[in-house]
Structure 1
């Protein structure tokens, strides 16, 4: 049976390599089974060969050749099984109740976590109840092979790849998450010391959707230990690049572990802290393997007592125990290297830094809202400490204290970080390098945070434009001489010389001019104070659980107030009280009778009919103007051209936010109340929003996690802590220092 692979390829010349390897291994497996302690009642040769026949025909085999091959194999295997059965009738099956130690030895040198667990969990063999063929077929491995085949077929039939949403942190069951984690990050008990963890991928194209190319002949270089900020306009393909890396669609070396924070985890009865601990599948499986080895060793000790000391059975059991003890030592060393004993305290510290109290850490994950589940996803990734950590807009799900903690944590992160973010302050603190994705390419700004990237890029564009304009002028000068003297006998040689110069000039492209985005909030008419006041206001969703207590706040036409604090401290509740969507339990809220408020909700998309265009939705929701007036108004918020006529479900998150800003201004408000207005806006959108708010003639009260926009716009910082809302004595940077000082005092922020 040594030439099975050759026979398979001869029968099916066009067979895919993966299918050929699988078919060959399966036939060899059946062949080995006929030589072991099995009988015709335990293995059905014709049934196994019929399975192989169907597999090879589906893989493109010629039916006649495949039938000949499977018939020949069936005859040989049946003969071997018959001989083995006859032998067993004479000698008996002395190994029936023993784990096959030869198989264990054969696989020991190259065993990984999956094969070890497969051997240890083969209950039919270990419990000595007789071997059954169904226990020998690894369905997970079969599914893995089928996925590989499907991937190869997709690449062969298409020149582009359609990416699914990453499953890494959003699977329906732990089993799916675990198997996907191990597929992306296979565990090798051997050391990866000495192997470079730098990533360099040259000359690749990347596509998304129906053949839309987002990168062309690009090169990605990530030096281990550096923290990269990936920036670019909305819709340019930054998230697609992260997904491609997270699923190893791009050629990342196998010894480099990867984790991608993209989607919230699905809630179940698992506690928050246990969910974080379970995210490290290596540790979880190694602990499980350690336990199974210990149980098997105990079982061997009991079995030894049933045989004579010098018997073959005892020797086999001793050999098996020796192999298991050796492997147990490898597992223990790996757990020690991972500092498994410190795992729970480390998980608790990460959760605390992200806003989970000691009490909420033990609540079931299903009891948390979507935003808190996103924090759990982030905590799971930080806990796993992958070699390459991929973060997609992490600040969108966090408040200022949590962002401050995350930035501090990442500054001490001893591996590679690639983060997509439009939060300038966050990138300034975290990034050691910036990658700018634009025009189907990646430009590198090494040793730069966001501010230095921005200034360097502006200077680079000026130099490119100057060089381009100088070359265009030189080309024009050469061409003018050529046109004038090409047919002049006296000057023809000089004309030819200039033609050669013109041909040798490098072809420069004009620097791209990014579209300028502008926002404009209409100036309101004047109203007399008091405008909007809260006097000794208290509120709670039940009298025994007060969320806000004794709040005094005065909002004027020139107010620029930022409302900060941890999630769950009542920030959005206070906004709803001001909007009269909620009524206080105690105290008084007064507002000018002529006051108009423009409210931007954090989840504004929920109130939009995305099947309509922006113009149609605004005319339906805020009637009274012509379509041309709505289009002109949308244009003042960057929704220009045909964007206002497209279905809103086709718009990016940032474009939907601009529609929401345009809508809140239709009643010409005196006061703007904004709940997380910076979410989904790219750098240009954030700059436009900050400038528009500064030029606005009314008052502004915003809840935001974006330090940059708070710093540019707001003059007052109000903080919600311990049911109290008070003005903070300082600016947003002073508040961040206050947060870090409090965290350091609690021992939360430290180098991990």
Structure 2
């Protein structure tokens, strides 16, 4: 039997609905335990019995309390990391915790939707007999005894079931407010007028790209209308625009060739992480050069035939051609070039030899970027490449792309990255694309000058119209001036339609102040030592302090432990030794770099705040969201349909609604447009509370931070020279290692 849905029926004598409900719960807990036990045993086969008993006891006793996989990780993740030692990193353990949470999630479904997977058919008649014979102690409709090895005692089970019942009631109330049926997201589409020029361009095999008169829409929303895009071969374009206007959608339309790009132009869109398997990171990058791989494969087959004496003359000639082609593309230098790319993106020599399946999602995205850089397509499409990188990797990528020979179109919010890399800016606004020569700073200046000229032209036309209208109004009823009035009316009719200058709305963010005064110490770590396993000590002698005046930025390579330091400061992790001190009235607002995972994507933004902060009016929720640019129809759209930047704004609105007096922000600029990053910097500077942030965005660091912490080699120290000194040190290190 694959599965069975239990429907209510009239019970036999002596068997009440309460008995049946208790039985279903008992059986369900047994089935769930078996499922996550299998995951635990398969992923950690060497786990000792004490740790196994502890973990299963936590999941049995508290399974109903967990809201998501992150809470499971917080409860048992540290222990699992200690068990796994070197075999699994933090992201791997998080994924395992999510899988175990999914096995527990069935117990949280409303009773009307509950489906229980059974391992044997259920005989309801036999159930009734057994239940009637055990009126004094009804354990369940199957009358099964608990395993003697389980860590769940009766009190824990009773407590868990009580909490489960309360959660069911709350969820049923929420479900009653939702419409039934699965969430269906809108899809993007593109249309393009045909042109005779395209055929001629293909015939000439030009590597320039020109797409005229095309539209792009997302569902019913028009993103681009009658737009034009010209990309000259060998130039590097930065695609910019406000969040939600369609930058990512445009890249996808180009990558899928929904917009007509000449077929001889190869395109690579770095969008999805590399699939994990037994292939090493270095070999995965080498395999992205399909021409080299094909030639090497053919060479191997032909050499085998030569060695066996079965080769013919034609095959010997072909072998010579292959050797010539391999020499032409410098195939022997490919491993060294791939290794340099991987090293620049943060892969150590040891990591380059690791199977791709051992890397987390973030590192697999870096691997996808490395493959694209190695393959050297005719058109490289990059969507926020700096989001996955630390400062050192961004610095290397800037230098690497400056010598890129083919065409690049990159979406980025990093102002310094754009200034270092691009030769042109493509500005998406008002359903069209405008192209500017030069880097981002030149774009800002040229755009301002263009707007000033347009405003002067608009004012001059308006003044001319008003002058003519004054004459017409003055002499409208003067018979002697009738001919002149008619002439002026014709002039007025022939003037082009006067449209006011379109200016993008200014972005403003505000972090509400908590005016309660706190006396020091506010937040500090004294001689803190921390590790997940004694063999891998992360930090020792950690001494950090911050107050309500602090504006601290922490930098360091990915994997150095920055997020761990933040969790120690917040009290989410307990030091092995040393002391964390925090003011009793300290209220911390935390923005996680994985904030999207903490949002319910199936509800709208208003409902999201309602669920998190019940008891307020819809107007209050809308006002809170409006302070972060989520207004009007945006606030009633499912969160899943919002762009990355819009989801970040929703997360900001949720974080600040509790009015904390200290903010800890982990990579807050990911997915935000440049205008919002500027607004974020202004808001943080105005905020009358403490701020500690982890960021790779040089612009935000320079605008906000007064103190720079460097996390490296199991230590965190203050760099007095600030970001300039840190950047110079990284550059010198790259030069010394030969990566620049």
TM-score, structure 1 normalization: 0.69
Q: In structure 2, do the counterparts of structure 1 residues 744 and 508 end up closer, same or farther at CA, with 3 Å as the change threshold? A: farther
Q: In structure 2, do the counterparts of structure 1 residues 484 and 296 end up closer, same or farther at CA, with 3 Å as the change threshold? A: farther
Q: In structure 2, do the counterparts of structure 1 residues 241 and 639 end up closer, same or farther at CA, with 3 Å as the change threshold? A: closer
Which one is further off, 535-544 or 616-625? Answer: 616-625
Aligned position for 1:460: 450
**Among 653, 661, 664, the residue aligned to 1:673:** 664
Question: What is the deviation of 1:728?
Answer: 1.4
Q: Deviations over 1:640-694 (max 9, x none)?
A: 3343343322322222212221222233222100011111111221111111001
Aligned mates of 1:581, 1:554 — CA distance in 2: 17
Structure 2 residue matching 1:383: 3-state secondary structure: helix
1:239 aligns with 2:264: no
**Among 181, 195, 214, the residue aligned to 2:223:** 214
**Among 245, 261, 278, the residue aligned to 1:252:** 261
**Among 344, 355, 370, the residue aligned to 1:364:** 355
**Among 575, 579, 585, the residue aligned to 1:584:** 575
Does the 8 Å contact 1:486/1:496 carry over to 2? no
Question: What is the deviation of 1:614?
Answer: 2.4
Question: What is the deviation of 1:529?
Answer: 0.5
Aligned mates of 2:341, 2:280 — CA distance in 1: 15
Q: Deviations over 1:56-86 (max 9, x none)?
A: xxxxxxxxxxxxxxxxxxxxxxxxxxxxxxx
**Among 197, 204, 207, the residue aligned to 2:207:** 197
Does the 8 Å contact 2:550/2:691 carry over to 1? yes
Aligned mates of 2:349, 2:718 — CA distance in 1: 28
Aligned mates of 1:498, 1:663 — CA distance in 2: 59
Q: Deviations over 1:472-511 (max 9, x none)?
A: 2322332443455467553333234333433443334322
Aligned position for 1:122: none
Aligned mates of 1:274, 1:727 — CA distance in 2: 39
Aligned mates of 1:469, 1:276 — CA distance in 2: 57
Aligned position for 1:740: 731
Aligned mates of 1:298, 1:162 — CA distance in 2: 54
Aligned position for 2:141: none
Aligned mates of 2:250, 2:437 — CA distance in 1: 19
Aligned position for 1:396: 387
Which ranges in structure 2 are unaligned for 5 or more consecutive residues? Answer: 1-186, 192-201
Question: What is the deviation of 1:372?
Answer: 0.6
Aligned position for 1:147: none
**Among 679, 683, 690, the residue aligned to 2:674:** 683
Map of 1:641-660 to 2, 5 A cutoff?
A: 641-660=632-651
Does the 8 Å contact 2:605/2:637 carry over to 1? yes
Map of 1:440-589 to 2, 5 A cutoff?
A: 440-447=431-438, 449-482=439-472, 485=475, 488-524=478-514, 525-589=516-580
**Among 663, 681, 706, the residue aligned to 1:715:** 706
Aligned mates of 2:226, 2:326 — CA distance in 1: 41
Does the 8 Å contact 1:205/1:213 carry over to 2? no
Aligned position for 1:698: 689
Structure 2 residue matching 1:418: 3-state secondary structure: strand
Structure 2 residue matching 1:419: 3-state secondary structure: strand
Aligned position for 2:97: none
Question: What is the deviation of 1:221?
Answer: 1.9
Q: In structure 2, do the counterparts of structure 1 residues 223 and 643 end up closer, same or farther at CA, with 3 Å as the change threshold? A: closer
Question: What is the deviation of 1:336?
Answer: 2.2
Aligned mates of 1:738, 1:364 — CA distance in 2: 31
1:724 aligns with 2:715: yes
Aligned mates of 2:205, 2:190 — CA distance in 1: 30
Structure 1 residue matching 2:287: 3-state secondary structure: helix
Aligned mates of 2:476, 2:512 — CA distance in 1: 61
Map of 1:176-195 to 2, 5 A cutoff?
A: none
Does the 8 Å contact 1:163/1:243 carry over to 2? no
Aligned position for 1:285: 294
Q: In structure 2, do the counterparts of structure 1 residues 388 and 733 end up closer, same or farther at CA, with 3 Å as the change threshold? A: farther
Does the 8 Å contact 2:216/2:250 carry over to 1? no
Aligned position for 1:60: none
Aligned mates of 1:652, 1:242 — CA distance in 2: 14
Q: In structure 2, do the counterparts of structure 1 residues 509 and 302 end up closer, same or farther at CA, with 3 Å as the change threshold? A: same
Question: What is the deviation of 1:161?
Answer: 7.3
Q: Deviations over 1:77-100 (max 9, x none)?
A: xxxxxxxxxxxxxxxxxxxxxxxx
- Runs of 4+ deviating beyond 6 Å: none
Aligned mates of 1:535, 1:677 — CA distance in 2: 27
Which one is further off, 416-425 or 726-735? Answer: 726-735
Does the 8 Å contact 1:234/1:654 carry over to 2? yes
Aligned mates of 2:300, 2:493 — CA distance in 1: 74
Q: In structure 2, do the counterparts of structure 1 residues 272 and 488 end up closer, same or farther at CA, with 3 Å as the change threshold? A: same
**Among 600, 606, 623, the residue aligned to 2:614:** 623
Aligned mates of 2:563, 2:386 — CA distance in 1: 17
Question: What is the deviation of 1:431?
Answer: 1.4
Aligned mates of 1:266, 1:400 — CA distance in 2: 25
Does the 8 Å contact 1:163/1:240 carry over to 2? no
Question: What is the deviation of 1:526?
Answer: 1.0
Question: What is the deviation of 1:706?
Answer: 0.9
**Among 222, 233, 245, the residue aligned to 1:224:** 233
Does the 8 Å contact 1:280/1:384 carry over to 2? yes
Structure 1 residue matching 2:480: 3-state secondary structure: coil
Aligned position for 2:273: 264
Question: What is the deviation of 1:729?
Answer: 2.5
Aligned mates of 2:221, 2:302 — CA distance in 1: 51
Map of 1:331-346 to 2, 5 A cutoff?
A: 331-346=322-337
1:383 aligns with 2:393: no
Map of 1:599-638 to 2, 5 A cutoff?
A: 599-638=590-629
TM-score, structure 2 normalization: 0.70
Aligned mates of 2:633, 2:206 — CA distance in 1: 49
Aligned mates of 2:302, 2:489 — CA distance in 1: 80
Alignment RMSD (CA, Å):
2.4
Q: In structure 2, do the counterparts of structure 1 residues 441 and 641 end up closer, same or farther at CA, with 3 Å as the change threshold? A: closer
Aligned position for 2:430: 439
Question: What is the deviation of 1:280?
Answer: 1.2
